[in-house]
């Protein structure tokens, strides 16, 4: 489509303002400014309807467009598949559904225990959003409590600062107080334990002499809730919207040990980290851990189609497959659009791009460059209190004062983001998630980012910090 004339652009903007309710957006903003309407995207860049180009360091605002914009092979794969067979409910299978499930499981050997004869049997359950994929796990955990007992082993432990979605169950398992505010009452059976952000250690300790108390707090939570009532723990491999928080290397083995000790299932939410964001196919693969359930969405098809997956080990699946399970013993869940074939068709093409272009290697190299450029900013600007991340996923936490670590006001972080946007670079930030800690700038450029792109992104932040002294 060609660039619209200014009167066509004004028309679309006014139609949008009249009729579209944008997510995460106070609409009072649109009294004085126009909603951003993105018209086009190619590679790392998007262009708005007024013709302004932006370098996108957010992969589509919420960490989704992993392989970048304008990928014809994905669009063609989706088009061809939709003409051949667009949809049938997932009680039936589809060709791309079967093929994508196999390809995914090949990337997840930890989920996919072999029988020694080359047969691998992990299972993939399709749905269409990260929230929904997580809800499937919560339903599986609750049903397993009935299959294996009297239903009491239904509780799920989640971690402070993690996010698991917008539906009431997913929000009930989210550790972001402000994001949840005004949406209660929440579902019963969810309970939290400590976050793992070293910079703000919840135990007031320092890494090296902390005994990894944050991981051990899971055991405290299980004992508090009653081990005979706890079915699972859910964790992001790297906390994303809660401030980009990777755990230390010792963290996940401790979590795994505690899960084993109390026979609690380990559910890893890879909705953000999955499909390459951190430099491996899945974020958990950086750590010595074997999950029982893994959920994924966003980068699974890079936003070219709506698809999410709940992946389980065969051991989990088999408990729903017993011949003597009776009429209620199988998973009685429905996901209407889990049967749309656009998702797995896009997923296969997306995965092929990541492989053919060696994007995981690029993420490692460019992630190192991003990290070192952000550390340079930390040296030059006292307002940058902490820099953290993994791969092409980074956070810079802004503070008023390095000693007290007092967080900057959310309005200051918003000012830095707005300055970058004005300069043609889109970056993200923690956004109304916590009462105090909406002070982290978040970067998640597409996995195709070049050194030059990373430099342009960090230079924009550099200029914004220079122009906005505290």
Nearer to ligand PLP, 297 or 398 (CB): 297
By CB under 6 A, is residue 303 in contact with ligand PLP? no
Positions 195 through 254 that interact with ligand PLP (CB under 6 A): 236, 240-241
Distance CA 441, CA 428 (A): 6
CB of 273 to ligand PLP, least distance (A): 8
By CB under 6 A, is residue 343 in contact with ligand PLP? no
Nearer to ligand PLP, 49 or 128 (CB): 128
CB of 334 to ligand PLP, least distance (A): 17
CB of 187 to ligand PLP, least distance (A): 16
Nearer to ligand PLP, 145 or 297 (CB): 297
CB of 100 to ligand PLP, least distance (A): 18
By CB under 6 A, is residue 156 in contact with ligand PLP? no
CB of 168 to ligand PLP, least distance (A): 12
CB of 415 to ligand PLP, least distance (A): 24
Mark the segment that binds ligand PLP (CB under 6 A) among 14-22, 68-76, 118-126, 266-274: 266-274
By CB under 6 A, is residue 160 in contact with ligand PLP? no
CB of 170 to ligand PLP, least distance (A): 6
CB of 448 to ligand PLP, least distance (A): 21
By CB under 6 A, is residue 410 in contact with ligand PLP? no
By CB under 6 A, is residue 129 in contact with ligand PLP? yes
Examine residue 424 and say whether the peptide bond preceding it is cis (omega within 30 degrees of 0).
no
C-alpha closest to that of 138 among 336, 272, 295: 295
Which of 235, 271, 359, 399 is the binder for ligand PLP (CB under 6 A)?
271
Nearer to ligand PLP, 306 or 400 (CB): 306
Which of 68, 96, 122, 130 is the binder for ligand PLP (CB under 6 A)?
130
Distance CA 449, CA 364 (A): 11
**Residue 304 in contact with residue 82, Cβ under 8 Å?**
no
Which of 126, 163, 193, 287 is the binder for ligand PLP (CB under 6 A)?
163
Nearer to ligand PLP, 169 or 231 (CB): 169
Nearer to ligand PLP, 303 or 385 (CB): 303
Residue with tokens 């605002």, as numbered in its chain: 61
Q: Is the dihedral of CA 341, 346, 349, 352 positive or negative?
A: negative
Nearer to ligand PLP, 129 or 373 (CB): 129
CB of 308 to ligand PLP, least distance (A): 6
Residue with the closest Cβ to ligand PLP?
130
By CB under 6 A, is residue 302 in contact with ligand PLP? no
Residue with tokens 């699974």, as numbered in its chain: 300
**Residue 282 in contact with residue 274, Cβ under 8 Å?**
yes
By CB under 6 A, is residue 442 in contact with ligand PLP? no
By CB under 6 A, is residue 165 in contact with ligand PLP? yes
The 366-405 site mask, x for binding ligand PLP (CB under 6 A), equals: ----------------------------------------
Tell me which residues touch ligand PLP (CB under 6 A). 62, 129-131, 134, 163-166, 236, 240-241, 269, 271-272, 297
């Amino acid at each position: 489509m060609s660039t619209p004339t200014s009167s066509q652009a004004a028309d679309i903007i006014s139609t949008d303002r009249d009729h579209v309710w944008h997510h995460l957006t106070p609409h009072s903003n649109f009294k004085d400014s126009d909603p951003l309407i993105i018209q086009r995207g190619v590679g790392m860049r998007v262009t708005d309807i007024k013709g302004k180009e932006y370098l996108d360091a957010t992969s589509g605002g919420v960490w989704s467009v992993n392989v970048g914009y304008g990928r014809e092979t994905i669009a063609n794969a989706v088009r061809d598949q939709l003409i051949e067979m667009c949809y049938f409910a997932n009680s039936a299978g589809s060709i791309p559904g079967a093929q994508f499930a196999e390809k995914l499981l090949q990337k997840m050997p930890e989920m996919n225990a072999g029988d020694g004869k080359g047969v691998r049997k992990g299972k993939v359950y399709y749905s269409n959003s990260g929230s929904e994929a997580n809800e499937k796990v919560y339903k599986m955990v609750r049903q397993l409590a009935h299959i294996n007992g009297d239903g009491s082993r239904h509780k799920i432990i989640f971690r402070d600062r993690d996010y698991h979605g917008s539906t009431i169950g997913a929000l009930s398992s989210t550790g972001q107080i402000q994001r949840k505010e005004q949406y209660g009452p929440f579902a019963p059976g969810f309970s939290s334990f400590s976050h793992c952000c070293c910079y703000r250690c919840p135990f007031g300790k320092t890494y090296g002499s902390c005994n990894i108390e944050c991981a051990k707090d899971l055991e405290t939570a299980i004992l508090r809730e009653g081990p005979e009532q706890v079915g699972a723990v859910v964790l992001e491999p790297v906390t994303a919207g809660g401030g980009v928080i990777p755990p230390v290397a010792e963290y996940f083995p401790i979590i795994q040990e505690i899960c084993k000790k109390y026979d609690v299932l380990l559910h890893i939410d890879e909705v953000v980290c999955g499909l390459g964001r951190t430099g491996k196919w899945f974020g958990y693969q950086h750590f010595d851990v074997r999950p029982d359930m893994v959920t994924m969405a966003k980068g699974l098809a890079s936003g070219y189609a709506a698809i999410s997956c709940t992946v389980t080990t065969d051991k989990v699946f088999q408990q729903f497959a017993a011949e003597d399970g009776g009429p209620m013993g199988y998973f009685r869940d429905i996901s209407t659009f889990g049967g749309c074939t656009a998702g797995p068709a896009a997923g296969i093409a997306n995965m092929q791009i990541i492989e053919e272009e060696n994007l995981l290697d690029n993420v490692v190299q460019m992630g190192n460059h991003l990290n070192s450029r952000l550390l340079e900013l930390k040296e030059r600007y006292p307002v940058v209190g902490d820099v953290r991340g993994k791969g092409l996923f980074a956070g810079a936490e802004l503070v008023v004062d390095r000693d007290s670590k007092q967080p900057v006001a959310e309005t200051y972080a918003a000012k830095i983001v707005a300055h970058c946007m004005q300069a043609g670079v889109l970056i993200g930030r923690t956004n109304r998630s916590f009462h105090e800690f909406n002070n982290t700038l978040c970067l998640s450029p597409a996995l195709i980012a070049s050194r030059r792109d990373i430099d342009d992104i960090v230079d924009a932040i550099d200029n914004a910090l220079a122009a906005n002294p505290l």
